[in-house]
A = this chain, B = another copy of it.
């Protein structure tokens, strides 16, 4: 048995290309005392990975050239040198883009109530991002209007469903009629605006007749700048992702910051790790919604580790539809 892994071959200039990655084979890792050897089943692809491919200061250090790409995985323990785990346990780990890995830190997940892959999506980091960002920064009140961009995505879809369950008007922004139809039809948002239609300001204004009280921003750039014009007095903006900027060689110039003053907007950046100690609370809330059929999700699955680069590129260009995953086995 040998390991396969995808390493960072070069740093992207602007858009990521497949040449930025290299597929390698390597010997199977040997777990040290206290570690478990895990066979990865699912790899999560997320927008933050774009940032790790750069060499600039971000929340954490970037990936070095030649190093395995980072990423969250769900897998099965095939050898345990840690008494808390046994062969066959299903675990959530940070083993990155590879088929096998030795993990010091892992958390057990329960197959059955939800498919394993959900622990990378609506019941995992994206779901918790939605939960803490909306609840703690957005603080939405019943009847307020909550707008979320990338609404059919892993985070956005949970934001809107949480907003609905808390009594708010939920308005999504997504690219194309198919995604918008899914957001209103399947996910139950009150409205969804297609940013590709080219009338974002006008269409959002129509979809939000009482203005916007909470904007959960996953994209930044022109969308955020447009929302600034629609925010109500004392509204809140959760800055969760700037996917529109990740591939730009020049940062976007925001023109509507005056609105922050005039409307006394609170705008706050967030990273889910800051709520690490409260993950249990979020998992309980989200699993409860899922059990009641109130947390719907959609997965966009790429088959095989060798196709992970293609999957990430699609995700960054908005070509995926739902939570982006790589099925490794």
Contact = CB atoms under 8 A, between A and B. Distances in A.
Interface in A244-260: 245, 251-260
A57 interface: yes
A263 to B, nearest CB: 6
A242 B271 contact: no
Interface residues of A, number: 33
Contact of A245 (B241, B258, B266, B267): B258
B262 A265 contact: no
Nearest to A48: B261
B258 A268 contact: no
A242 B257 contact: yes
Given A242-B257, A251-B255, A251-B257, A269 B262 contact: yes
A276 to B, nearest CB: 13
Nearest to A246: B258
Interface in A263-305: 263-271, 274
A261 B274 contact: no
Given A251-B257, A257-B220, A257-B254, A269 B264 contact: yes
A155 B17 CA distance: 51
B58 A262 contact: yes
A239 interface: yes
Interface in A51-110: 57-59
Top 8 nearest A-B pairs by Cβ distance? A253-B253, A261-B269, A264-B269, A260-B269, A254-B254, A266-B268, A267-B267, A251-B255
